[in-house]
Amino acid sequence: MNKENEGRRSKEEKREGEKSKELEELYERLSKYYAGIEEERRRRFEELGERLSRYYADVEEERRRRFEELDEKLSKYHANIEERKRRLKELYEKGYASV
């Protein structure tokens, strides 16, 4: 009966060794898969950061351009109002207009 028990034990040990090897292989595959996922996540995060930086720069440039346009328009309106005031003052001084 000892030989029979030894035969069973050696088969069980062999199966356990095979299972252990399979588990190690699975662990290794999962580790590589996880590393790939982490690399992809890092790459996408960096890509998103770059896209957001470009977007922010574009928004800032557009904001600056619009403020410059608005400043030009306001300057023209101010100059126009000053010119009207000057003309009205001239007319008033000549007696053609009243306040």
3 token code pair: 């030989």
Q: Within the chain, where are the H helices? A: 2-94
pLDDT the model gives residue 94: 85
Amino acid, res. 47: E
CA angle (10, 15, 11) in 5-degree steps: 25
pLDDT the model gives residue 10: 74
CA angle (55, 59, 64) in 5-degree steps: 150
Query: Which parts of the chain sit beneath pLDDT 70?
Result: 1-9, 97-99
Q: How far is CA 38 from CA 32, 41, 49, in A?
A: 10, 5, 16
pLDDT the model gives residue 39: 97
pLDDT the model gives residue 5: 63
The Cα 97–Cα 50 span in angstroms is: 63
Dihedral sign from CA coordinates of 22, 25, 31, 34: negative
pLDDT tens, position by position, 16-44: 778 888 999 999 999 999 999 999 999 99
Coil, helix or strand at residue 98:
coil
pLDDT the model gives residue 97: 64
pLDDT the model gives residue 11: 72
pLDDT the model gives residue 86: 94
